[in-house]
Structure 1
Amino acid sequence: MREHLCPLRHLFVPGALMLACPVTIGAGSQEPANGKMNMSNVRVLIVDDSAAMRALFCDILDQAKGVEVVGTARSADEARDQIDELNPDVLTLDVEMPGMTGMEFLAEIMGSKPMPVIMLSSVTQQGTGTAQKAIELGAVDCFPKPLHSSPEEFNATVEKLGALIIAAASSDLSASGEAGGASTSGFEPDGRVVVLAGGSESIETVRQVIAAYPANCPPTVILVDADADVVERAVDRLRPSVACKIEEAGSNVMLVPGTVYLAFRDTAHVVVENDYAPVLNVIERDPVGGHRPSADMLFASVARAGLPALGGLLAEDNIDGVRGLDALAKTGAQAFAESGQEGELNQRFAELSKMGTKAAGVAASDVPGWILSATSKQDLAA
């Protein structure tokens, strides 16, 4: 019998914190008690042969912002029917299942109807052979099943897995494994520094930018205000297949072409200074406007340094970076912001428009090509 609905959330899992919140999710069902059902939520199908694990992950994802569990399945056979019926945005898949294994089903999915898949298992932690095989087969990422569930660990898992699923929903499966596009073969940088700021909502855009960059890309600093583990996992998956170098932001680091510098630790700010050459520095200070690292501080530092630069704000549900990018644009630097979908402007772009900042609006899918075209000495389309 196929399982359409998420199981009751009070199943006992040894050593795990379970929430007693029966929820019915599925076609024709009532709205969940927590009121999460929303057309903009990422719709997830959980596939695991263990009823306890299905209940646990329903609990975890029920608490995650922007995520909605639309169904569960116990096997590959059930999952096939559920995928056709529910059309989920993301699939979470166990590795070890009776009958067709999770790895075999993953290969089948990618060969017939590719979709974002996150492997959930105790044997797919990053760095294992199983995890590497899953990534090679097309999985977006691998996430370990929680072995302990204290309240603190449960909340941390909610945040990390929720962010991972939201990023997976917007992943470009066709771009996996590609190292730079053919359109960048004639790229020659114009000498400017590129400075970008985004958050958990823009991890996929950041991934696409790095994947599109050629080996001689402009020196690029990217601030990502998101869970550090999620950023690290995304970068680790991307690193082997890209042409440019990826480094974590540090102090007294000279910015050089061919390298992307990522700032995502919430323990310090990052600034760019002019010491006869662009230099990156990390500063341990209190949060600015509730943010650390602060996009406003980063953009303002580039403006003060007087360096030739291009600044960009990627999507995020706050206005950190708006004032800093405005200050940078007023120095004559080229600026842009991710514009959002038609009729639904991203908050940061909308705020820049209100301020009258001279900044181009760029759709998320166009950001990589736009940056390369803007910073190239010649027209890449020629």
Structure 2
Amino acid sequence: MTSPVRTLVVDDSATMRSMLTAALNADPGIKVVGVAPEPHTARQMMRELDPDVVTLDVEMPGMDGLSFLEKIMRLRPTPVVMCSSLTTRAAEVTIEALRLGAVDFVAKPTGVDDDMARVTAELCAKVKAAARSNIRQRRGATPPGPVSAGGGAFPEDRVIAMGSSTGGVDALFSILPRLPKDAPPVLVVQHMPPTFSSNLARQLDETCAMKVVEAHDCAPLAHGTVYIAPGGAHHMVLSGKMVRLIDGQRVSGHHPSVDMLFRSVAPLGRKAVGVILTGMGEDGAAGLLAMRKQGARTLGQDEESCVVYGMPRAANELGAVERELSLSAMPMAIIGACRSK
């Protein structure tokens, strides 16, 4: 029998500590071994308890969550799931936490029954995934600037579609800044709520040669632009030469869905490049297979460089992945695929 995931809860609110502890202990696969009101106490408890996973509040007195996270990843690498409110400021900090090495995040519960049920299910799933994550492969040096494009202008008809989930923020910050400013349009689905997707787009835009925007309905495709799917109740798809946001049920459990994006790009055939990155579950596997069957080039992140080798594994097992690559090799492979005949 597998041992429960030993978890340390760190939050300055006694109410939130109680709620999170009850939610986690309700899952037989998780055991809360300690709770701490601030980072200094948490640091001592980590030494004594050696937890498998830490849940960490974004903003706390004494030492903020980001400073404590940086110390954890530098001195005692441990899977961390951030607990964030849905404010704009919290979203900014959470994106930075994911870049620093946090495995994932959950939005804090509001106390409403249906919201509590959602958060409980999401929190437990993410804590158990974090316990299996490959955190020690993360956080290398800041990626260098764009790789040399070479070979003149990119073909006008090329489109890059990219999907990611758990660990994906870090992966996107490793890949997108290395694409040249005139690269073909890139459509990205990263699983996250609305406020977080807009902050992700803004922070990526500050680091990329390409322009990075949160997509809006009927946005025209343009070379040199990355379109981040908005979180929420819509799917982002390609329709002709426009980005569309469409209503619909969750697909593969998600809004937006990588499968929906990939299936919409599949009719482009060899003009498209599909990229599936680290993440839990199977979203994107079937869509990437549809792309490959139509002649698209399809790339998957390899197990060693993934935080969670879930989505790429599912795609690879379906036969959807033409080549598996490390995160560091992915930018050049994407550029090469865009230039292939």
Regarding TM over 0.5, the answer is yes
Q: Distance in 1 between matches of 2:81 and 2:251?
A: 34
Aligned to 2:322: 359
3-state SS, counterpart of residue 46 of structure 2? helix
Conserved? CA contact 2:87–2:195, under 8 Å: no
| CA separation of 1:271 and 1:64: change in aligned 2, threshold 3 A | farther
| CA separation of 1:79 and 1:256: change in aligned 2, threshold 3 A | same
| CA separation of 1:266 and 1:131: change in aligned 2, threshold 3 A | closer
| CA separation of 1:326 and 1:119: change in aligned 2, threshold 3 A | closer
- Of all paired residues, the percent bearing the same amino acid is 25
Aligned to 1:57: 20
Tell me the alpha carbon deviations over residues 34-75 of structure 1, each in whole angstroms, 9 at most, x when there is no partner: x8814xxxx653334665443233234446899764433345
Q: Does 1:92 align with 2:59?
A: no
| CA separation of 1:334 and 1:231: change in aligned 2, threshold 3 A | same
Which of 298, 302, 306 is residue 335 of structure 1 equivalent to?
298
**Counterpart code for 1:303:** A
Conserved? CA contact 2:4–2:28, under 8 Å: no
| CA separation of 1:340 and 1:292: change in aligned 2, threshold 3 A | same
TM-score w.r.t. structure 2 length?
0.68
Q: Distance in 2 between matches of 1:185 and 1:110?
A: 32
Conserved? CA contact 1:205–1:367, under 8 Å: no
Aligned to 2:114: 152
Shift of 1:219: 1.3
| CA separation of 1:314 and 1:304: change in aligned 2, threshold 3 A | same
Q: Distance in 2 between matches of 1:65 and 1:305?
A: 46
Q: Distance in 2 between matches of 1:355 and 1:111?
A: 34
Conserved? CA contact 1:47–1:91, under 8 Å: yes
Aligned to 1:126: 88
Structure with greater helix percent = 2
Conserved? CA contact 2:197–2:214, under 8 Å: no
Conserved? CA contact 2:166–2:280, under 8 Å: no
Shift of 1:206: 3.4
| CA separation of 1:78 and 1:350: change in aligned 2, threshold 3 A | closer
Q: Distance in 2 between matches of 1:304 and 1:198?
A: 21
Tell me the alpha carbon deviations over residues 231-275 of structure 1, each in whole angstroms, 9 at most, x when there is no partner: 45544554544443322233332222322112254533333244x
Within a 5 Å distance, the mapping from 1:44-193 to structure 2 comes to 44-48=7-11, 51-62=14-25, 69-85=32-48, 86=50, 89-90=53-54, 92-93=56-57, 95-97=59-61, 101-103=62-64, 106=67, 109=71, 113=75, 125-127=87-89, 148-158=110-120, 170=135, 172-174=138-140, 178=142, 181-182=144-145, 184-188=146-150, 190-191=154-155, 192-193=158-159
Shift of 1:365: 5.9
Output the aligned Cα RMSD.
4.8
3-state SS, counterpart of residue 174 of structure 2? helix
Q: Distance in 2 between matches of 1:317 and 1:273?
A: 27
Aligned to 2:185: 219
Conserved? CA contact 2:285–2:320, under 8 Å: no
Aligned to 1:247: 213
**Counterpart code for 1:329:** R
3-state SS, counterpart of residue 64 of structure 2? helix
Q: Distance in 1 between matches of 2:105 and 2:313?
A: 35
Shift of 1:311: 0.9
Which of 157, 162, 165 is residue 196 of structure 1 equivalent to?
162
Shift of 1:335: 0.9
Aligned to 2:243: 280
Conserved? CA contact 2:55–2:83, under 8 Å: no
Q: Distance in 1 between matches of 2:333 and 2:279?
A: 19
Q: Distance in 2 between matches of 1:346 and 1:143?
A: 20
| CA separation of 1:84 and 1:187: change in aligned 2, threshold 3 A | farther
For structure 1, the 5+ residue unaligned runs are: 1-30, 378-382
Name which one, 1 or 2, has greater alpha-carbon Rg: 1
